[in-house]
Structure 1
Amino acid sequence: MLVVDDNSNPFEMSCAIEIFGLARPELGRELYDFRLCAAEPETRMRDGFFTLTGVAGPEAAESADTLIVPNRPDTHVPRSQRVLDVIRRAHARGARLVGFCSGAFTLAEAGLLDGRRAACHWMWADAFRARFPRVRLEADVLFVDDGDILTASGSASALDLGLHLVRRDHGAEIANHVSRRLVFAAHRDGGQRQFVERPVPAVPDESLGPLLAWAQERLGEPLTVSGLAARAAVSPATLHRRFRNQLGTTPLAWLTGERVALACRLIERGEERLDVVAARSGLGTAANLRARLRRETGLSPSAYRKRFGAGPAQPTAAGGSGP
């Protein structure tokens, strides 16, 4: 369920609809029961671009298992008590709360972020810290998953956090499918930097695209940072700098993330032999696979298989029981 408030940003609303609201008949099942609600019958969207009508009232949020809270550019303007009360009640009954961009202000104003980690857009970091000093703001990350409350830094990171939720709810294979439909990166770790320098390359071959595609086809091979640098015909230091500038992460962190994602997909497709999964994904040993999978997903391989393995699955509701 997405709550829309006066002056809400249309972009983040559209991200939520695109990820959680679209039918995906090619998957043979519905992923989410997604709906919108608003505090008023007519909601003026950001800068008056359009007015939203015909959506459910705030009472519809009372049964949602996941609630995406309003985000607005006028962060200094207090949210309506009606909206804040809906959010507080959702939290009290154990619903998952999600804030995109300035949604962190909404959650903090509701009093739900004190002592907790959160992300918001870098442009508002100083204002957020001054207003909510008890929140542990992580100002230079894409998103923060703090269990039952998740926040994304802004704009495109709403897609990152949305795909993270799909991966958490339905596994890596489904998240990968949704990302392909979006023509968007399947997985960017929440800890990556918000603001990534992308200078105009001095020569056209500085893009990492070809190297990443080459490596993704060979994750089961003994790839190393020095080997990737040699493939790109640069020094390891230059490769490291390009990864930082273009992806906001390191070559080793990217490689490990891709290998864990592949391991997840192999488990979801039915491979039960952990040594085979570890070898094919390039994670080496079953012990390393267990450690990496638990760190990434919070689940052991057997728990991950039980949750995301092949078999019938029910939609995660967005009104009654989901986003």
Structure 2
Amino acid sequence: MYSIDTLLSPFEMKAGVVHCRCSKCFSVPTKRRVRKRPPSLTLLSLPDEVLLCVLQCLSAEDLLSIRAVHSRLRDIIDGHSSVWARVSFKDNWPAPQSVWLFERAAEKGNFEAAVKLGIAYLYNEGPSLSDEGRAEVCGRKAAWFFGLAESLRPSGADPFVWVFIRPPWSPSGSCCKAVVFDRLKAECDAHTEKRGSLLHSLARVLQLFDEEEKTVREAQALLEESSRHGCLQSSYLLWERRRAAAVADPGRYLQCLRTLRDYAAKGCWEAQLALAKLCCSGNPLGLEQRTCADLVAQVFRSCPAPRRRTEDLLRRGINDTMTP
């Protein structure tokens, strides 16, 4: 058997160096294994699907900054409408230098941008326009963006445009609200898909005027047409009018309550509250107390949760219109 010393001869290992006794290889060091560093991960290393999720959470200002960083990011932002539809305009208001950004996002389906543009043009806050024909121009633009916002309104949410164009109107005849009202009325004929919600808003505006016979009849006609086009909120307002006449007839009143239950089950918030009040007070459906409570709980559980962002946005818009 050979010993280890014999196997190493005539080579030697000393101080980590392998060499023989000749002068040629006496000082040749051993080859060491070099560890490769893992490649560093950057934003551009992510797939497009992940980048889309990241970009959709940015504010408008951050989105423009990211767009200028790299051509790939620019192509993703410009090529996907969902990025512009979900970009946030929190704490931002349309101004002469940024109105183009709001308009681009609104055209891509951004609900927040459409609402803020409608309010800005309605009250002439932000976009700079000349005094000549200001009410007509602003009213036309406000009506366009309000109509767009109604079409982008989340499913189950109530029509809201009437909140911004409600009375009082200027008696001078050059009121921007009056222009918006007339433009939205004309838009009902051009866009059938918006007719139900727009007619509802127009009827709510007329109901806020002094109760003249002509105004009341026109509001009633608008509500009926809106209901025929599938607006659940208009159907509920018509139900409220029929309820007073049906109280005297038990059969009609019971049918009226069943209709209210159907509206509540479909997601009408006002109908849900009315049903809950009726069931908690007099129980007109003749149900047992436990059954009545379960019915109300089932109606509320079956309805989709309201979108908090939409509620906050509309609340801010309402506060803006009430500020002198």
Return the TM-score normalized by structure 1: 0.25
Query: Counting strand residues as a fraction of each chain, which structure ranks higher?
Result: 1
Structure with bigger RCO (C-alpha 8 Å, 6+ apart): 1
Query: Rg bigger for which structure?
Result: 2
Query: Counting helix residues as a fraction of each chain, which structure ranks higher?
Result: 2
Return the TM-score normalized by structure 2: 0.25
